[in-house]
């Protein structure tokens, strides 16, 4: 008969990454790739020997494939069958490498411990100034709560909102296209080809970008029912997707503490409607070494901000916000995640110091018939350097992914003033969503 100890019948919750799974490679997808932490197996067997019920609590379990990946990893490394969940359980103890114990009333000790954690491991590699976005997966089915958070924070971050395999199918198409032009080492990897130095110039843009924009699957993803329902709920009415969709191809270049995409607001190019929401979709995982979207917390409440031509760029689109501004927030995004933000929310992209090409999309939505759209967004992103739809859509099953509703007025850009002069006189239309 087994002699159980003082833990008999009690639950002990154990974190996975950084506790059982060594996580030395960082986030590489839902399948864990690293070995166990030394002594982890012995510790789990000790808990069970004490009569404890061991429960693995991990954000990987926010999707069924993540849960199964953990179970497979446990079996591979000789662990017993354990319950795996993403939900906080009632437990006598939590074993977590990022936990801070609280002794009643001793907030000074908590503050000291949090300060130590905030400057170590992945936060140190990402930059100690960059905070983590607040996830809203818990409210994914509650449109009123999501709307409230969008209005409050200027964004909603939805880990695992889209099926990973749906997004990865598009990732595969993008990789194949970039492999064919010599940028990637193979059609099933994001690693840069040996000897290649991928970067955008006038010539490479005309070579690369049309190949991406002619992929029907890239445009079709923006019309996924889940995204359309979410956007209709957040905007409170019938919506349409802007035909112009941005594919972000972030090549290895920017060092730590820099930008890949400089700080800006989407309204700086939209002009005619303030309540436009952008869906940001990562096609490849983002890590501290290859950062994705950054959000400047609460910046949407400041209205349309004056740009600074000295920051750089062919047009004065960017803001004088330092890359180490303490308000920046990001996350280690996984394929299937989604971030939605308002056109007045300041955002950018962190550096890519890896040996891979980071891929993502910006897709914009607004209500149908309320306000006009800039005429250029009825064309492909990058037009006229990018060919128009007649050429890009040849061979597609339908052009519905890039049609503009007849009820949407198209307003051309004024041609009698410079871009900077136009922005200096631009007044933001009232925002129904933000109440501004």
User: Quick check: helix, strand or coil at residue 173?
Assistant: helix
Q: The domain spanning residue 90 has which CATH number? A: 3.40.50.1000
Residue 26 lies inside a defined structural domain of this protein: yes
pLDDT confidence of 288, banded at 50, 70, 90?
confident
Residues 246 and 373 both lie in one domain? yes
In whole angstroms, what is the distance from residue 275 CA to residue 271 CA? 11
User: Quick check: helix, strand or coil at residue 96?
Assistant: coil
Neighbours of 7 (CB within 10 A): 19
Neighbours of 130 (CB within 10 A): 21
Q: Which of 52-61, 98-107, 149-158, 207-216 bottoms out in mean pLDDT, i.e. has the lowest? A: 98-107
Residue 6 lies inside a defined structural domain of this protein: no
Residue 404 lies inside a defined structural domain of this protein: yes
Q: Which of 74-83, 251-260, 378-387 bottoms out in mean pLDDT, i.e. has the lowest? A: 251-260
pLDDT: is 182 or 111 the higher one? Answer: 182
Cα four-point dihedral sign 250, 252, 257, 259: negative
Residues 43 and 179 both lie in one domain? no
Domain extent at residue 364: 131-425
Q: Is the pLDDT of residue 248 over 70?
A: yes
The answer for residues whose C-beta is within 8 angstroms of residue 303's C-beta and 6 or more apart is 344, 428, 436
Tokens of 37: 């932490």
The reported pLDDT for the residue numbered 8 is: 84
Residues 177 and 320 both lie in one domain? yes
Residues 68 and 145 both lie in one domain? no
Q: Is the pLDDT of residue 104 over 80?
A: no
The reported pLDDT for the residue numbered 123 is: 43
Residue 103 lies inside a defined structural domain of this protein: no
Residue 204 lies inside a defined structural domain of this protein: yes
Q: Is the pLDDT of residue 119 over 80?
A: no
Phi, psi of 6 (to 5 degrees): -70, -10
Residue 332 lies inside a defined structural domain of this protein: yes
Cα four-point dihedral sign 174, 285, 157, 300: negative
The enclosing H or E element of 104 equals none
Residues 215 and 295 both lie in one domain? yes
Note the pTM of the prediction, 2 decimals. Answer: 0.73
pLDDT confidence of 257, banded at 50, 70, 90?
low
Specify whether the CB–CB gap between 364 and 278 falls below 8 A.
yes
Specify whether the CB–CB gap between 300 and 434 falls below 8 A.
yes
Residues 258 and 136 both lie in one domain? yes
Q: Is the pLDDT of residue 247 over 70?
A: yes
The reported pLDDT for the residue numbered 127 is: 56
Q: What secondary structure letter does DSSP report for 225?
A: H
pLDDT: is 83 or 23 the higher one? Answer: 83
Specify whether the CB–CB gap between 175 and 189 falls below 8 A.
yes
Question: How much is the average pLDDT of 270-279?
Answer: 96
Domain count, the chain: 2
Question: How much is the average pLDDT of 139-146?
Answer: 93
Question: How much is the average pLDDT of 319-332?
Answer: 88
Residue 278 lies inside a defined structural domain of this protein: yes
Q: Of 69, 95, 121, which residue sits at a domain end? A: 95
- Using one digit for the tens of pLDDT, what is the confidence trace for 211-226? 999 999 999 999 999 9
Residues 209 and 326 both lie in one domain? yes
User: Quick check: helix, strand or coil at residue 396?
Assistant: coil
The answer for residues whose C-beta is within 8 angstroms of residue 40's C-beta and 6 or more apart is 19, 20
């Amino acid at each position: 008969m087994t002699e159980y100890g003082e833990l008999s019948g009690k639950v002990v919750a154990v974190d996975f990454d950084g506790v059982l799974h060594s996580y030395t490679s960082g986030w590489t997808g839902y399948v864990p790739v690293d070995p166990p932490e030394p002594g982890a197996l012995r510790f789990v067997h000790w808990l069970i020997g004490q009569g404890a019920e061991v429960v693995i609590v991990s954000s990987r379990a926010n999707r069924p494939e993540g849960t199964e990946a953990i179970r497979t990893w446990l079996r591979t490394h000789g662990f017993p069958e354990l319950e795996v969940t993403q939900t906080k359980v009632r437990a006598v103890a939590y074993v977590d490498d990022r936990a801070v114990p609280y002794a009643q009333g001793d907030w000074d000790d908590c503050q000291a411990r949090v300060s130590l954690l905030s400057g170590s491991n992945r936060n140190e590699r990402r930059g100690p100034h960059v905070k983590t976005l607040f996830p809203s997966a818990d409210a994914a089915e509650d449109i009123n709560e999501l709307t409230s958070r969008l209005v409050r924070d200027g964004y909603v971050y939805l880990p695992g909102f889209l099926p990973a395999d749906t997004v990865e199918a598009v990732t595969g198409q993008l990789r194949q296209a970039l492999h064919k032009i010599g940028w990637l080492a193979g059609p099933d990897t994001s690693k840069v080809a040996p000897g290649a130095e991928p970067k955008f110039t006038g010539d490479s843009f005309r070579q690369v970008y049309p190949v991406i924009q002619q992929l029907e699957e890239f445009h079709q993803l923006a019309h996924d029912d889940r995204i359309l329902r979410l956007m209709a709920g957040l905007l409170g009415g019938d919506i349409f997707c802007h035909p112009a969709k941005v594919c972000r191809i972030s090549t290895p270049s920017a060092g730590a503490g820099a930008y890949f995409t400089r700080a800006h607001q989407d309204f700086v190019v939209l002009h005619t409607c303030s309540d436009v929401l952008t869906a940001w979709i990562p096609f490849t995982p983002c890590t501290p070494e290859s950062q994705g979207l950054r959000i400047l917390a609460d910046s949407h409440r400041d209205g349309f901000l004056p740009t600074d031509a000295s920051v750089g760029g062919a047009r004065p689109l960017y803001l004088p916000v330092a890359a180490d501004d303490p308000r920046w927030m990001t996350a280690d995004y996984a394929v299937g995640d989604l971030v939605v933000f308002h056109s007045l929310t300041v955002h950018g992209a962190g550096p890519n110091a890896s040996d891979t090409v980071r891929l993502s999309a910006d897709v914009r939505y607004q209500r149908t018939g309320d306000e006009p759209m800039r005429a250029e967004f009825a064309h492909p992103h990058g037009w006229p350097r990018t060919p128009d739809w007649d050429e890009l859509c040849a061979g597609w099953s339908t052009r519905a992914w890039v049609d503009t509703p007849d009820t949407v007025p198209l307003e051309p850009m004024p041609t009698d003033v410079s871009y900077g002069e136009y922005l200096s006189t631009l007044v933001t239309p009232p925002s129904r969503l933000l109440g501004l």
